[in-house]
């Protein structure tokens, strides 16, 4: 063999050794932590700060609801006092006879006579009850609607956090499996490069085969590096979605599930209208606006209340007692048009809230259709890639056999490897997209993480 051929063989062997040792060094990273989808979602729901904020807002809305109810409940209070005071009269006077013959007496000095101080005591219990006050009743209805809205917003946030965790989980699983695909392709190209160099050394193949094999191996190494980095980024996103501050290398492991896709979206639309949190929150805001109309119109109506009390007062014990009971009413007949303007503004807010409800329903219909279509498309891709992977594996096996017997060309083998890599990649993409789309459909119908899950077949 010519000396230049030996030099090329030695240099290529060094390149193969460097690539192999680099792959081994990368593989020596710390072991990843196993993680299931259920654990991922549970961690996200427990630690996500957005969910904590929504939960506290719901608690505050519940407290406001009780505060509004208190306006229509009786109030009972008591008071007591002890007072020490003086009561000094003026002294010295003079009498003057007026021309009319009337005698008038005037004090002759501003000085007073000190009679000393005396002590008086007072204690009592008073109860009050609103009998008719539409504004207080409207405030109760507004507070209850606000409580419902906060609860739905909490549910909406919980589902958003749940779906984000599902996306991060399957994106990490996607990156992990794509790395395995790239690693397998890299190892196959390593083996092919060794075979190509062996064929070149014995003279059964031209040197171009070894050059092309080394070039393909270098390109595979670049793809492997990118796949590793994509996995690191996906693991970081998964850690953030779980609400964790620990820098852990997660290793997602869950079986892919085949969802049973409904034939039409009719039942899905019905479920969305009944269960979606954004629609129910918009309905709660509409109820608040309607109660606001009653609140504004209450200014045209009278208010009636009743009160009762029992009091003790005097300067010496035992103190004499007295009781009192009564009712009061008030009615404003004119407020310079302010009440009418507030009523019109409340009506406008009702119309605006009703429009928001319709907009939420339209958004729900669109998202359900998109989610259903995406799930169906992902399912079809999954079925198609299953056959494509099997055919690509068979084609690669035949091309490799032809190459080893000298009947096939390197280009034929390279094409077969490229087709196999594409098929494996498409298979992983389809499986992960289908899993995310299934959760997306649950989210679009408002049932993600709630109630009976849709039937699933594990494959």
Task: Look at residue 340 in the predicted model and tell me its pLDDT.
Answer: 81
The alpha carbons of the chain give a radius of gyration, in whole angstroms, of 42
Across 88-97, 274-283, 294-303, 434-443, least confident range? 88-97
Across 14-28, 88-102, 199-213, 429-443, least confident range? 14-28
Residue 393 has pLDDT above 80, yes or no: yes
Decide yes or no: CATH 1.10.1060.10 for domain 46-75+122-312+320-458.
no
Average pLDDT, the chain: 82
Q: Is 366 exposed, middle or buried (0-12, 13-18, 19+ CB in 10 A)?
A: exposed
Q: What is the mean pLDDT of residues 134-150?
A: 86
Whole-number percent of the chain with pLDDT over 70: 83
Residue 452 has pLDDT above 50, yes or no: no
More confident residue, 60 or 112: 60
Q: Is 384 exposed, middle or buried (0-12, 13-18, 19+ CB in 10 A)?
A: middle
Residue 183 has pLDDT above 90, yes or no: yes
Q: What is the mean pLDDT of residues 261-281?
A: 91
Confidence band of 139 (pLDDT split at 50, 70, 90) = confident
Across 54-68, 111-125, 335-349, 364-378, least confident range? 111-125
3-state secondary structure the chain: CCHHHHHHHHHHHHHHHHHHHHHHHHHCCCCCEEECHHHHHHHHHHHCHHHHHHHHHHHHHHHHHHHHHHCCCCEEEEEEEEEEEECCCECCEEEEECCCCCEEEEECCCCECCCCEEEEEEEEEEEEEEEECHHHHHHHHHHHHHHHHHHHHHHHHHHHHHHHHHHHHHHHHHHHHHHHHHHHHHHHHHHHHHHHHHHHHCCCCCHHHHHHHHHHHHHHHHHHHHHHHHHHHHHHHHHHHCCCCCCCCEEECCCCEEECCCCCCHHHHHHHHHHCHHHHHHHHHHHHHHHHHHHHHHHHCCEEEEEEEEEEEECCCCCCEEEEEEEEEECCCCCCCHHHHHHHHHHHHHHHHHHHHHHHHHHHHHHHHHHHHHHHHHHHHHHHHHHHHHHHHHHHHHHHHHHHCCCCCHHHHHHHHHHHHHHHHHHHHHHHHHHHHHHHHHHHCCCCCCCCCCCEEEC
Q: What is the mean pLDDT of residues 44-73?
A: 83
Q: What is the mean pLDDT of residues 142-167?
A: 92
Task: Look at residue 367 in the predicted model and tell me its pLDDT.
Answer: 95
pTM score: 0.75
Confidence band of 195 (pLDDT split at 50, 70, 90) = confident
Q: What is the mean pLDDT of residues 49-56?
A: 87
Confidence band of 274 (pLDDT split at 50, 70, 90) = very high
318 prior amide bond cis, ω within 30: yes
Task: Look at residue 94 in the predicted model and tell me its pLDDT.
Answer: 62
Task: Look at residue 31 in the predicted model and tell me its pLDDT.
Answer: 59
Task: Look at residue 433 in the predicted model and tell me its pLDDT.
Answer: 94
pLDDT digits (tens, 9 = 90+) for 303-360: 888 889 999 988 888 888 999 998 888 887 777 677 788 888 989 999 999 999 999 9
**Strand order from edge to edge, sheet including 75-86:** 75-86, 117-132, 303-314, 321-330
Mention every residue, 6+ apart, whose C-beta is less than 8 A from residue 166: 37, 40, 41, 435, 436, 439
Confidence band of 85 (pLDDT split at 50, 70, 90) = confident
């Amino acid at each position: 063999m010519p000396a230049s051929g030996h030099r090329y063989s030695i240099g290529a062997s060094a390149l193969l050794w460097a690539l192999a040792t680099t792959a081994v060094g990368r593989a020596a990273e710390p072991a990843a932590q196993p993680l299931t989808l259920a654990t991922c979602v549970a961690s996200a729901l427990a630690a996500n700060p957005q969910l904590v904020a929504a939960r506290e807002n719901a608690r505050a809305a519940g407290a406001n609801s009780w505060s509004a109810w208190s306006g229509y409940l009786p109030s009972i209070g008591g008071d007591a006092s002890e007072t020490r005071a003086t009561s000094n009269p003026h002294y010295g006077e003079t009498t003057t006879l007026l021309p009319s013959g009337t005698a008038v007496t005037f004090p002759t000095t501003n000085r007073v006579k000190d009679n000393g101080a005396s002590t008086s005591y007072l204690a009592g219990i008073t109860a009050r009850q609103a009998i008719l006050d539409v504004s207080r009743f409207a405030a109760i209805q507004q507070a209850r609607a606000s409580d419902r809205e906060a609860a739905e917003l909490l549910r909406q946030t919980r589902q958003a956090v749940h779906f984000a965790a599902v996306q991060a989980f399957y994106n990490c699983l996607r990156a992990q499996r794509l790395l395995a695909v790239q690693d397998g392709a890299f190892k196959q190209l390593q083996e092919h490069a060794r075979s190509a160099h062996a064929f070149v050394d014995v003279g059964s193949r031209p040197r171009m085969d070894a050059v092309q094999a080394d070039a393909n191996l270098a390109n595979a190494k670049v793809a492997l590096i990118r796949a590793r980095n994509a996995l690191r980024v996906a693991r970081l996103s998964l850690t953030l979605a779980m609400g964790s501050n620990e820098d852990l290398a997660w290793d997602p492991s869950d079986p892919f599930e085949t969802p049973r896709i409904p034939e039409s979206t009719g039942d899905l639309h019905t479920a969305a209208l009944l269960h979606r949190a954004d629609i129910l929150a918009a309905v709660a805001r509409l109820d608040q606006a309607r109660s606001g109309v009653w609140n504004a119109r209450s200014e045209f109506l009278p208010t009636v209340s009743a009160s009762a009390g029992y009091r003790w007062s005097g300067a010496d014990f035992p103190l004499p007692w007295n009781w009192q009971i009564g009712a009061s009413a008030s009615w404003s007949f004119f407020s310079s048009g302010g009440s009418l303007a507030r009523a019109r503004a409340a009506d406008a807010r009702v119309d605006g809230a009703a429009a928001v409800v319709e907009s939420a329903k339209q958004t729900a219909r669109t998202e359900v259709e998109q989610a259903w279509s995406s799930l169906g498309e992902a399912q079809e891709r999954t079925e198609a890639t299953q056959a494509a992977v099997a055919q690509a594996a068979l084609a690669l096996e035949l091309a490799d056999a032809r190459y080893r017997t000298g009947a096939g060309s390197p280009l034929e083998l390279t094409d077969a490897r490229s087709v196999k890599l594409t098929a494996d990649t498409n298979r992983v993409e389809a499986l992960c997209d289908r899993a995310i789309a299934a959760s997306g459909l649950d989210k679009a119908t408002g049932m993600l993480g709630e109630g009976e899950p849709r039937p699933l077949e594990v494959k």
